[in-house]
């Protein structure tokens, strides 16, 4: 459903004429447009429509004999509202006295004290006296609602926020209220711990100290901490966060509501993985390999040795750049590689270099959908990605769109999606066959026969027809949310063409509220491409003077001895690259491996000669680009831990020692240089980006985006999906919890994934595998083991394994077919 | 530029050049004797100097000297729950509280939380007593000790152990009605 058109109405609040958009709730309108605060407990616009549970917000409206709940009444033209009459005052005092009847008032030991809406409302609107002398209700406290959240049921004021969040926002349906009346309490339905990807949000929602964060419990009071706004860089969703800092330590992460990015929510990774900043496992000093082991060394020695090794390797150096790299670091790395060492072998995409023309076409500003478009489009097609794993917060946005705005959600993926049950239609295709599937959809939309293409994709032709019909009938505004997987691997260019044709069929180009939205593999993948951290592009997606090797070719060249040195900037090829075997060989052969890493992940631990400590995201400054083209700014929130140094400065220093000083004195100097050199960023500045970021594709300078070829492209026939015949197709996915930060955070460690083998009940029965059993998956002599996970929704003939985990990653296997057996 | 004395002449005003005679004698002794008369006139008032530090003035019961943290007499648990309210009230920001959670095996205070770190920087404290007023558990009170000088500034940061310890009573308390 397209965005609602705002119509203004005028109403009178406490004698003042106020203009507010029709349909807005009175409590919101009064605060935002009338500067009048109506106290609330249970209402929060971001949870959805009001339920009127607490009655804190009573106001008088002329013409209505009884008082009304300000949170549940929409403003209308000519409404006359009073919020400060004696009747309202008496009602507020009575409601607060009533709410406090059963409240233990243990503020001094309560973690919410000092930032508690109940304290604030009682202070601002309460009568100050209670007539209740009877005993209060008692519960055992505090209990662990989950390993992350503590619940104190005595303090709960039964506002329903957490339960509504679980039922209507996260839709994990775990939290419920049990019992009736004064005995009511919040719990999970069957008493199991509340573990969900977005559970932490209820801590921030709870208006009292009933739900508190266990890692943060009692660490500080609001007056002990400072809030520092920045951006979470643990996944491409780049949620806006605020760090609570005490004594140069991040003690918790709160959301910094941004309608255009995160809608006010965070995932549990973003909320709790800050702990990894302050663990002992983190690398906080430079290290060098000495006698087979990494040992701490001085900065001077590390830099001098790195400079010597790199100038020795010269043009025989390759570089892999991980997604957490900022644009500034990316640009300084290209300076180090291209202008200083004379090598063009650098890549930030794990899937192989995409044809530059196609990359431009996919990133063309007119074709970009924004995050809010997901919520207001007529239809959203989720193509070859799993939002909850790849960019978690978008999962909540899609659910909101479906629930509140009638978005028709369509899914085409190989692995069953968490969103399937909210989708109007979901289709499955064989892993790696996104190209054929997109081509089949495109053909069906164009009125051609799609059956053979659907067949090639390993999909049910009827599904393709159904999806195409839904897409055609949904309306004009269609957003395709697609995963980088679609344009990775040997047929990446064909995948891109099929996607562009599909977008063309749907007429997404230059249509407001419609377009493509990519979920890239790395946090700042989009920014890194735009500043030229690609083998075949220069800064601003211009043509590269010389085309270098892409990630896979760098691996092959290292293995073959054509390259001798490699820089791993926030990248661990054994975790990020599709083939572990290749990279084991490559790194084993490389004579110089220089890593910038925060943790000793497998490749760093086994192969790096020199390790430079990487800054954590709370220590970094610089800019990153959100997948929907929003340029955002990272700000340094704490002092760098240990001996960590600014990485942009380190990259500049390395280049300077090798003999080509980039003359970067501050990070903002590099930012300014980027804004000058990337034509479509022209006129940007750090001030302009500010705290909320700015979408470059919406600015005038976007007109100078390099021209790209227009669809339709002619497609060649995609190869048919491997037919399982006895073996199973190998599909892989990266879990939301697969990251070194999650592994290192004590609070989250219980979530860090171990390998699990997802198969369908049919295949499991055929192979005689029971749920939870140990199974071995083998191909070409390599094998990994994991626990069998029988998933009802999994398609027959395919097995799904995780990548990006240190042990037994799917990257050890070579598809497309693998053998699964009990071990 | 060199200094030019010509531009900076100091005018010296001198007393009468010629002394002597009765006038001179009076000027030399008369005024002195007049002053001494006042001095000796006070002799009968007795000595009022208090020989500190051998002798100390007793303080009033509500005198605000260095703080004390308290325990419950029966259970021996600390009264302080580490709520940080004293730190919030302190106008000179000299209290630092870092709380932690009590466990059944390690119970320090009566509530859910206790102060793992409790420090008062007495070199910054202005002895206003706001912390005492703020404390919801009467865990911190102002004691009577005012002899706090030390040779080292960092020794003036009093830790929880120091504040909990029974103070050496160095200051006499003024008795009722005194
Ligand atoms: S636990 Fe908190 S959010 Fe949930 S109902 Fe109780 S007071 Fe409301
Ligand atoms: S969704 Fe991504 S960006 Fe947002 S909080 Fe989670 S990890 Fe961070
Ligand atoms: S007496 Fe006043 S200045 Fe001293 S610690 Fe207490 S509140 Fe702070
Ligand atoms: S002394 Fe009192 S106010 Fe200060 S932290 Fe302890 S209990 Fe709270
Ligand atoms: S805020 Fe209106 S009823 Fe709770």
Is B5's pLDDT higher than 70?
no
Does A563 lie in the same domain as A613?
Answer: yes
Q: Does A107 touch chain B (CB under 8 A)?
A: yes
In order, the DSSP letters of B131-160 are HHHH-TTS-EEE-S------S-GGGGEE-H
Tens digit of pLDDT for each residue in A749-793? 999 888 999 999 999 999 999 999 999 999 988 899 999 999 999
Q: Kind and range of the H or E element at A332?
A: helix A327-334
User: A720 by DSSP, 3-state: which?
Assistant: coil
- Residue of A323, A211, A221, A199 whose CA lies nearest to A272: A199
Q: Does A223 touch chain B (CB under 8 A)?
A: yes
Mean pLDDT of A491-519: 95
Tens digit of pLDDT for each residue in B11-28? 777 776 666 677 778 877
Helices A647-658 & A299-313 angle (0-180, nearest 10):
50
Residue A259 lies in a domain: yes
Looking at every residue in chain A, the average pLDDT score rounds to: 95
Domain that holds residue A39: 8-99
Helices A117-125 & A86-100 angle (0-180, nearest 10):
140
Name every residue whose Cβ is closer than 8 Å to that of residue A191 and which is 6 or more positions away in sequence. Answer: none
Mean pLDDT of B21-49: 86
Q: Using the mean position of ligand 1's atoms as its centre, give its distance from the Cα of residue A329 in Å.
A: 44
> What residues line ligand 2, using a CB cutoff of 6 Å?
A 232, 234-235, 237-239, 262, 266-267, 269-270, 392-393
Structure tokens at A170: 């996260």
Does A245 lie in the same domain as A163?
Answer: yes
Q: Kind and range of the H or E element at A414?
A: none
Name every residue whose Cβ is closer than 8 Å to that of residue A318 and which is 6 or more positions away in sequence. Answer: A343, A345, A346, A549, A554, A557, A558, A563, A565, A566, A567
Does A293 lie in the same domain as A232?
Answer: no
Mean pLDDT of A211-224: 95
Locate tokens 């996919």: which residue? A362
Is B3's pLDDT higher than 70?
no
**Chain B residues within 8 A of A217 when measuring between CB atoms:** 101
Mean pLDDT of A185-189: 93
Q: Nearest by CB to B83, which of A109, A141, A142? A: A109
Domain CATH for A424: 3.40.228.10
Q: What is the pLDDT of residue A152?
A: 96
Tens digit of pLDDT for each residue in A315-325? 999 999 999 99
Q: Does A224 touch chain B (CB under 8 A)?
A: yes
Does A469 lie in the same domain as A423?
Answer: yes
- Residue of A397, A362, A335 whose CA lies nearest to A705: A362
Chain B CA closest to residue A114: B85
Q: What is the pLDDT of residue A264?
A: 95
Please tell me if the CB atom of residue A679 comes closer than 6 angstroms to any atom of ligand 5: no
Among candidate residues A451, A485, A519, the one where a domain is terminated: A519
Does A469 lie in the same domain as A536?
Answer: no
pLDDT band with cut points at 50, 70 and 90 for residue A481? very high
Q: Are A773 and A822 in contact (CB under 8 A)?
A: yes
Mean pLDDT of A517-544: 96
Locate tokens 């007499």: which residue? B73
Name every residue whose Cβ is closer than 8 Å to that of residue A118 and which is 6 or more positions away in sequence. Answer: A41, A99, A103, A112, A157, A207, A208
Q: Where are the domains of chain B?
A: 67-164
Q: What is the pLDDT of residue A2?
A: 73
Name every residue whose Cβ is closer than 8 Å to that of residue A631 and which is 6 or more positions away in sequence. Answer: A527, A623, A624, A625, A681, A684, A689, A693, A694, A695, A696
Please tell me if the CB atom of residue A156 comes closer than 6 angstroms to any atom of ligand 1: yes
Percent of chain A with pLDDT over 70: 100
Q: What is the pLDDT of residue B174?
A: 86
Q: What is the pLDDT of residue A217?
A: 94
Q: Using the mean position of ligand 3's atoms as its centre, give its distance from the Cα of residue A418 in Å.
A: 55
Is B1's pLDDT higher than 70?
no
Q: Which CATH class is domain B67-164?
A: alpha beta
Instruction: Domain count for chain A, please give it.
Output: 5
First to last CA, chain A: 51
For ligand 2, atom 5: residue with the closest CA = A270
Tens digit of pLDDT for each residue in B123-162? 999 999 999 999 999 999 999 998 888 999 999 999 999 9
Q: Give the span between the Cα atoms of A156 and B52, in whole angstroms.
A: 59
Mean pLDDT of A203-208: 97
**Chain A residues within 8 A of B103 when measuring between CB atoms:** none
**Phi–psi pair at B109, nearest 5 degrees:** -125, 175
Does A660 lie in the same domain as A549?
Answer: yes
For A654-658, A749-753, B79-83, B88-92, which range has the lowest pLDDT when averaged over its residues? A749-753
Q: Give the span between the Cα atoms of A199 and A259, in whole angstroms.
A: 20
- Residue of A422, A396, A42, A25 whose CA lies nearest to A201: A396
Q: Nearest by CB to A109, which of B81, B88, B97? A: B81
Does A263 lie in the same domain as A208?
Answer: yes
Contact B112 A109 (CB under 8 A): yes
Structure tokens at A173: 């349906």
Tens digit of pLDDT for each residue in A673-683? 999 999 999 99
Domain CATH for A751: 2.40.40.20
Q: Using the mean position of ligand 4's atoms as its centre, give its distance from the Cα of residue A244 in Å.
A: 22
Tens digit of pLDDT for each residue in A421-440? 999 999 999 999 999 999 99
- Residue of A636, A638, A576 whose CA lies nearest to A803: A576
Compute the CA torsion angle A63, A66, A71, A75 (nearest 10 deg): -10
Is A8's pLDDT higher than 70?
yes
Does A406 lie in the same domain as A505?
Answer: yes
Structure tokens at B163: 């504040």
User: B18 by DSSP, 3-state: which?
Assistant: coil
User: A62 by DSSP, 3-state: which?
Assistant: coil
Mean pLDDT of B99-106: 93
Among candidate residues A232, A253, A278, the one where a domain is terminated: A278
Q: Nearest by CB to B82, which of A142, A218, A223? A: A218
Task: Please list the residues that pair with A481 across neighbouring strands.
Answer: A382, A517
Q: Nearest by CB to B81, which of A108, A141, A221? A: A108
Is A448's pLDDT higher than 70?
yes
Mean pLDDT of A394-418: 96
Does A511 lie in the same domain as A533?
Answer: no
Proximal ligand: closest to the CA of A103: 1
Residue A582 lies in a domain: yes
Is A628's pLDDT higher than 70?
yes
Residue A114 lies in a domain: no
pLDDT band with cut points at 50, 70 and 90 for residue A389? very high
Does A602 lie in the same domain as A624?
Answer: yes
Is A1's pLDDT higher than 70?
no
Among candidate residues A519, A539, A571, the one where a domain is terminated: A519
pLDDT band with cut points at 50, 70 and 90 for residue A358? very high
Q: Are A774 and A823 in contact (CB under 8 A)?
A: yes
Q: What is the pLDDT of residue A726?
A: 84
Does A586 lie in the same domain as A495?
Answer: no
Residue A620 lies in a domain: yes
Q: Using the mean position of ligand 1's atoms as its centre, give its distance from the Cα of residue A152 in Å.
A: 10
Does A607 lie in the same domain as A532?
Answer: yes
Mean pLDDT of B71-99: 95
């Amino acid at each position: 459903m397209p965005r609602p058109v705002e119509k203004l109405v005028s109403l009178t609040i406490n004698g003042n004429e106020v203009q507010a958009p029709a349909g807005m709730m009175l409590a919101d309108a009064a605060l935002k447009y009338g500067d009048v605060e109506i106290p609330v407990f249970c209402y929060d616009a971001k949870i959805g429509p009001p339920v009127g549970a607490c009655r804190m917000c009573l106001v008088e409206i002329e013409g209505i004999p009884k008082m009304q709940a300000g949170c549940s009444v929409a403003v209308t033209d000519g409404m006359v509202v009073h919020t400060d009459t004696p009747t309202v005052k008496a009602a507020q005092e009575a409601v607060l006295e009533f709410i406090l009847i059963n409240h233990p008032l243990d503020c001094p030991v309560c973690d919410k004290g000092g930032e508690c809406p109940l304290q604030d409302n009682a202070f601002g609107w309460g009568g100050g006296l209670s007539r209740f002398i009877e005993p209060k209700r008692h519960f055992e406290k505090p209990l662990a609602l989950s390993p992350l959240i503590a619940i104190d049921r005595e303090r709960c004021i039964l506002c329903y926020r957490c339960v509504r969040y679980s039922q209507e926002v996260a839709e994990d349906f775990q939290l419920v209220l049990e019992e009736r009346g004064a005995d009511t309490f919040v719990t999970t339905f069957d008493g199991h711990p509340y573990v969900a990807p977005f559970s932490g949000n209820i801590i921030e929602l709870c208006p009292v100290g009933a739900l508190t964060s266990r890692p943060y419990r009692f660490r500080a009071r609001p007056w002990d901490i400072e809030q520092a706004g920045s951006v979470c860089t643990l996944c491409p969703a780049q949620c806006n966060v605020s760090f609570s800092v005490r004594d140069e330590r991040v003690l918790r992460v709160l959301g910094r509501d941004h309608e255009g990015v995160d809608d006010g929510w965070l995932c549990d990774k973003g909320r709790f993985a800050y702990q990894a900043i302050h663990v002992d496992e983190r690398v906080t000093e430079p290290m060098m390999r000495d006698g087979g082991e990494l040992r701490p060394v001085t900065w001077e020695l590390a830099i001098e040795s790195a400079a010597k090794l790199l100038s020795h390797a010269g043009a025989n150096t390759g570089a892999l750049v991980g997604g957490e790299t900022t644009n500034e670091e990316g640009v300084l790395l290209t300076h180090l590689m291209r202008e200083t060492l004379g090598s063009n072998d650098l890549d930030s995409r794990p899937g192989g270099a995409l044809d530059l023309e196609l990359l431009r076409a996919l990133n063309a500003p007119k074709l970009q959908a924004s995050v809010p478009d997901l919520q207001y489009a007529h239809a959203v097609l989720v193509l070859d990605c799993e939002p909850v794993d790849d960019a978690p917060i978008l999962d909540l946005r899609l659910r909101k769109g479906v629930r509140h705005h009638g978005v028709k959600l369509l899914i085409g993926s190989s692995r069953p999606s968490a969103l399937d049950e909210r989708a109007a239609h979901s289709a499955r295709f064989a892993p790696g066959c996104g190209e054929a599937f997109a081509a089949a959809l495109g053909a069906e939309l164009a009125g051609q026969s799609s059956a053979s293409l659907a067949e090639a994709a390993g999909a049910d032709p009827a599904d393709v027809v159904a999806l195409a019909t839904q897409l055609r009938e949904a309306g004009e505004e269609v957003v395709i949310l697609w995963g980088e997987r679609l344009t990775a691997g040997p047929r990446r260019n064909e995948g891109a063409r099929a996607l562009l044709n599909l977008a063309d069929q749907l007429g997404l180009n230059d249509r407001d509220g419609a377009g493509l939205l990519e979920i890239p593999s790395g946090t700042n993948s989009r920014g890194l491409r735009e500043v030229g951290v690609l083998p075949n592009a220069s800064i601003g997606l211009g043509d590269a003077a010389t085309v270098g090797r892409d990630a896979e070719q760098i691996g092959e060249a290292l293995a073959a001895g054509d390259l001798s040195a490699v820089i791993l900037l926030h990248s661990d090829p054994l975790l990020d690259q599709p083939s572990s075997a290749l990279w084991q060989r490559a790194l084993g052969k490389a004579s110089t491996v220089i890593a910038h890493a925060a943790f000793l992940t497998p490749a760093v631990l086994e192969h790096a000669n020199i390790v430079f400590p990487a800054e954590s995201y709370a220590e970094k400054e610089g800019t990153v680009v959100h997948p929907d083209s929003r340029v955002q700014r990272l700000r340094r929130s704490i002092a760098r831990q240990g001996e960590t140094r600014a990485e942009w400065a380190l990259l500049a220093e390395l280049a300077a020692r090798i003999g080509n000083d980039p003359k970067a004195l501050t990070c903002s100097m590099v930012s300014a240089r980027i804004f000058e050199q990337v034509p479509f960023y022209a006129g940007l500045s750090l001030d302009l980006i500010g705290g909320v970021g700015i979408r470059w594709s919406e600015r005038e300078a976007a007109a100078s985006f390099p021209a790209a070829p227009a669809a339709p492209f002619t497609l060649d026939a995609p190869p048919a999906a491997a037919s399982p015949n006895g073996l199973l197709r190998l599909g892989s996915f990266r879990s939301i919890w697969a990251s070194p930060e999650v592994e290192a955070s004590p609070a989250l460690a219980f979530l860090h994934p171990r390998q699990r083998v997802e198969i369908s009940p049919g295949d499991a029965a055929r192979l005689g595998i029971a749920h939870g059993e140990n199974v071995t998956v083998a191909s070409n002599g390599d094998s990994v083991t994991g626990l069998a996970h029988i998933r009802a929704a999994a398609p027959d003939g395919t097995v799904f394994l995780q990548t990006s985990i240190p042990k037994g990653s799917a990257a050890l296997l070579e598809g497309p077919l693998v053998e699964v057996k009990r071990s | 530029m060199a200094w030019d004395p010509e531009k900076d002449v100091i005018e010296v005003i001198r007393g009468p050049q010629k002394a002597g005679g009765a006038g001179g004698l009076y000027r030399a002794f008369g005024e002195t004797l007049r002053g001494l008369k006042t001095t000796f006139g006070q002799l009968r008032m007795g000595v009022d100097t208090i020989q500190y530090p051998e002798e100390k003035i007793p303080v009033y019961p509500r005198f605000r000297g260095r703080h004390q943290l308290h325990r419950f007499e029966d259970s021996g648990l600390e009264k302080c729950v580490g709520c940080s309210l004293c730190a919030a009230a302190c106008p000179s920001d000299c209290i630092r509280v870092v709380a932690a959670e009590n466990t059944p095996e390690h119970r320090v205070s009566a509530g859910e939380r206790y102060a793992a770190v409790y420090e008062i920087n007495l070199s910054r404290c202005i002895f206003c007593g706001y912390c005492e007023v703020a404390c919801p558990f009467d865990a911190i009170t102002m004691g009577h000790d005012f002899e706090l000088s030390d040779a080292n500034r960092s020794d003036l940061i009093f830790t929880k152990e120091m504040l909990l310890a029974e103070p050496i009573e160095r200051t006499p308390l003024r008795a009722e009605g005194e």
